[in-house]
Amino acid sequence: MIKIGITGQNGFVGKHLFNTLGLFPEEFERVSFEREDFENEVKLQNFVSDCDVIVHLAGMNRHNDPQVIYDTNVGLATKLIAALTATESKAHVLFSSSSQEERDNLYGKSKKEARERLINWALNSGGSFTGLIIPNVYGPFGHPNYNSFIATFCHQLSHGEQPKIEVDGVVKLIYVADLVEVMIDEIRTGKGNDLLVIPHTEERKVSDILLLLEKYTEAYLKLGIIPELKNRFELNLFNTFRCYNNIGDHFPVKFTQHTDPRGAFVEVIRLNVGGQVSFSTTVPGITRGNHYHTRKIERFAVIKGKALIQLRRIGTEEVLDFYLDGKEPAYVDMPIWYTHNIKNIGEEELYTIFWINEFFDPNDPDTYFENV
């Protein structure tokens, strides 16, 4: 069992790494960390002593005063090194640096200085160190106006605002799940690497990305259509976009019913992408689900009976409740990293149609069980 602590555990990349490590409970034990621990020498030393691996993600990306960025990032690394030294730690430390290291700005300089100090610690202590040079990261739950322009665009479009392109350049990108996979691979090898340059997975113009996001806004938010997703990048971008919608206000979305003397007709889903459609009946009082996905797109459509659909984002406590009734057929889509269930709260059988964007593969189910 490898005991892993993450400084910056509650940040964008930190949360994804923390949650992904939780998918391997027999291999990794997560050591909790809070930002305030940097201000308490004893707590910081206790944290360091508990860890076989420390992933140092805590830092500052943006501030009105660049000197504050430099002082913060170098200062945090210095405090961590002091705790490592005081406890005679032999941990494997991974540090998130940036492709801006060689640029003439204080953010890049702060990352390079912190990395070099951690290299010296490893040389003198017998510990191991990996310095990760990371390209631009995007993905679900990034902070708008802070983590990436994609987070900013997604937030603006989902809140009725029109993004503005400052510089329409070509950007090298990596999806946060791919970055986390690299980190976990490096943890497993344990060898260390002073300068591990992580290759980008995509290279796109800002305007091309905005065009895709605008298409998702028009098709998905306004019309409920699952858009065409031509490749893995577009799937990742769409899943990122979906996580910025105000889920509690958007769902459930009611279907349009067409009725005549014969009965009713309801169009359940319009797709520009493939997948699998399933149908289920659920007896009163029974709950299905209590699991989450990290990449799949899924829709629950209630067509008969009464249902309670619940969602909770992994790592949080807030539960979103959606009440659906087959008399007014409606659907709820499941965002990635949200555990979800559906319960029959009526007195008759519940009829539900499930759509998911990929066939079920028992060797790669992307289904992780956790109660809502």
- pLDDT value for 301: 97
- Residue 344 near residue 277, CB atoms below 8 Å: no
Domains defined for the chain, CATH in brackets = 2-134 (3.40.50.720), 247-369 (2.60.120.10)
- pLDDT value for 99: 82
Q: What is the C-alpha to C-alpha distance for residues 317 and 202, in angstroms, rounded to an integer?
A: 34
Please enumerate in sequence order all residues whose Cβ is within 8 A of that of 341, keeping only pairs 6 or more positions apart, or say none: 287, 288, 289, 290, 309, 310, 371, 372
Is the confidence at residue 372, as pLDDT, over 90? yes
Is the confidence at residue 32, as pLDDT, over 90? yes
- pLDDT value for 56: 97
Q: How confident is the model at residue 61 (pLDDT cuts 50, 70, 90)?
A: confident
Enumerate the H helices of the chain as residue ranges: 12-21, 41-50, 66-86, 106-125, 149-158, 176-189, 206-216, 223, 232-242, 247-250
**Which residues lie across from 220 on neighbouring strands?**
none
Give 238-270 as a DSSP string. HHHHHTTS-HHHH-SEEPPEEEETTEEEE----
Q: Burial of 112 by CB count in 10 Å (0-12 exposed, 13-18 middle, 19+ buried)?
A: buried
Is the confidence at residue 264, as pLDDT, over 90? no
- Largest separation between any pair of C-alpha atoms in the chain: 84
Is the confidence at residue 197, as pLDDT, over 90? yes
Q: How confident is the model at residue 263 (pLDDT cuts 50, 70, 90)?
A: confident
Is the confidence at residue 309, as pLDDT, over 90? yes
Task: Output the CA–CA distances (angstroms, integers) from residue 111 to 71, 82, 100, 274, in the order listed.
Answer: 11, 18, 8, 43
Nearest C-alpha neighbor of 237 from the set 310, 354, 315, 157: 157
pLDDT digits (tens, 9 = 90+) for 69-122: 999 999 999 999 999 999 999 999 999 998 888 788 899 999 999 999 999 999
Average pLDDT estimate for 294-310? 97
Please enumerate in sequence order all residues whose Cβ is within 8 A of that of 100, keeping only pairs 6 or more positions apart, or say none: 107, 108, 111
**Per this entry, what is the length of the chain?**
372
pLDDT digits (tens, 9 = 90+) for 127-170: 999 999 999 999 999 999 998 999 999 999 999 999 999 999 99
- Residue 163 near residue 157, CB atoms below 8 Å: yes
Token pair listed for 171: 């950007």
Neighbours of 22 (CB within 10 A): 14
Nearest C-alpha neighbor of 44 from the set 3, 94, 95, 84: 84
- pLDDT value for 4: 98
Residue 315's SS3 state is coil
Mean pLDDT is lowest, of 221-235, 259-273, 316-330, for 259-273
Strands 287-292 and 276-282: unpaired
Q: How confident is the model at residue 262 (pLDDT cuts 50, 70, 90)?
A: confident
Is the confidence at residue 46, as pLDDT, over 90? yes
- Residue 8 near residue 59, CB atoms below 8 Å: yes
Q: How confident is the model at residue 331 (pLDDT cuts 50, 70, 90)?
A: very high
% residues pLDDT > 70 (the chain): 100
